[in-house]
Amino acid sequence: MQGQQLRVGLVGAGKMGADHALRIHERISGARLAAVADPDLDRAQQVAGSSGARATADAFEVIDDSDVDALVIASPGAVHEPLLLAALERGVPVLCEKPLTPDAKSSLRVVEAEEARGEHLLQVGFMRRFDAEYGELKRLLDAGELGAPLMLHCVHRNAATPPGFTSEMMIYDSVVHEFDTARWLLGSEIAAVTVRAPKSSSAAPDGLLDPQLVTIETTSGALVDVEIFVNCGFGYQVRCEAVGERGTALIGADGGPLVHRSGNWGGSISDDFRDRFGAAFDREFQRWADAAHRGHADPAAATAWDGYAAAAACEAGVQAQATGTRAEVDLAERPDFYIP
């Protein structure tokens, strides 16, 4: 494997793509960047620059490139579907940043295309599944150490939003992570979503419902509540407490040096999600590259089905937000192909 490095084609050279290029280049073993595509060719060249990879404005050129062994898709969700279908046709492993596609219907088409091909090639970038603390929480739940899980209490906070961030994006971009972790931790599909908002923070841009309280019901009968607050002011914070029949477990506590100074004790909080999940991204990519060498997706990762289920939950979430009422999730039947 060391002799033959995995040649990775990167589609999308924005912030996330550039970060992943660096990751492949500098932080994981057994893979190298072979090609970079971005409609903005300059940007593609800049990201390719230091690594010796080719740059192009045409994503399909990278997908069809026979010198590319595997693909990372980090372009906007709106253009994912044709890229994924083309990659499936070529039969290369793909790590697709979330969302799989922006809506349930198109996600389901991708699911069906992968099922038709009969190979697990796609995985969706829900990196929390590779975080050490989430992993330990999953282990505690699966081992039954807390008894059957009944509730999750989740908190998801950002210091501030970039311009143009909308209430819907709070569901699609942020709560989507809780949809996936709830499904993964509880081993259950999402049945319904309710969204409530208190009066909005005066720190939130005009028109943004911030914070919101999202309540999720699962088919297993568990309840999940999520505080999503994207202008909380102080930093990036992700917390999850699982409540089981015999105990609870909380992850996401503050870390780093405990400082005493000037009448205060405590530490600092970063507002960069990469400080919290950087190691998870690294593990996700390393495991993906290892699996891609063998020609398939990492079995530990979120599948196309998981991407579809998250998209369906997001649709219900946005509907619940708009109507103020409980929205049920209407899910297709899960193909045997996606039952582990």
Residue 339 buriedness (CB in 10 A; 0-12 / 13-18 / 19+)? exposed
**Per-residue DSSP letter, 163:** T
Of 110 and 214, which has the nearer Cβ to a copy of itself? Answer: 214
Of 15 and 246, which has the nearer Cβ to a copy of itself? Answer: 246
Q: Give least dist CB 146 to a copy of itself, A.
A: 7
Provide the pairing of β-strand 31-37 with 54-56: parallel
Of 116 and 132, which has the nearer Cβ to a copy of itself? Answer: 132
Q: Give least dist CB 102 to a copy of itself, A.
A: 29
Of 236 and 305, which has the nearer Cβ to a copy of itself? Answer: 236
Q: Give least dist CB 324 to a copy of itself, A.
A: 10
Residue 13 buriedness (CB in 10 A; 0-12 / 13-18 / 19+)? buried
Q: How many CB atoms lie within 10 A of CB 89?
A: 12
Strand partners of residue 240: 154, 251
Q: Give least dist CB 103 to a copy of itself, A.
A: 28
Of 60 and 273, which has the nearer Cβ to a copy of itself? Answer: 273
With H, G, I as helix, E, B as strand and everything else as coil, classify residue 302. Answer: strand
- Give phi and psi for 317, each to the nearest 5: -65, -45
Q: Give least dist CB 337 to a copy of itself, A.
A: 29
Concatenating the DSSP letter of every residue in 74-112 gives -S-GGGHHHHHHHHHHHT--EEEPSPSSSSHHHHHHHHH
**Per-residue DSSP letter, 99:** P
Of 15 and 199, which has the nearer Cβ to a copy of itself? Answer: 199
Q: Give least dist CB 277 to a copy of itself, A.
A: 14
Report how far Cα 19 is from the mean position of its chain's Cα atoms. Answer: 15
Of 114 and 298, which has the nearer Cβ to a copy of itself? Answer: 298
Number of residues assigned to the chain? 340
Q: Give least dist CB 56 to a copy of itself, A.
A: 19
With H, G, I as helix, E, B as strand and everything else as coil, classify residue 205. Answer: coil
Residue from 262, 268, 275, 335 nearest 303 by CA: 335
Report how far Cα 77 is from the mean position of its chain's Cα atoms. Answer: 12
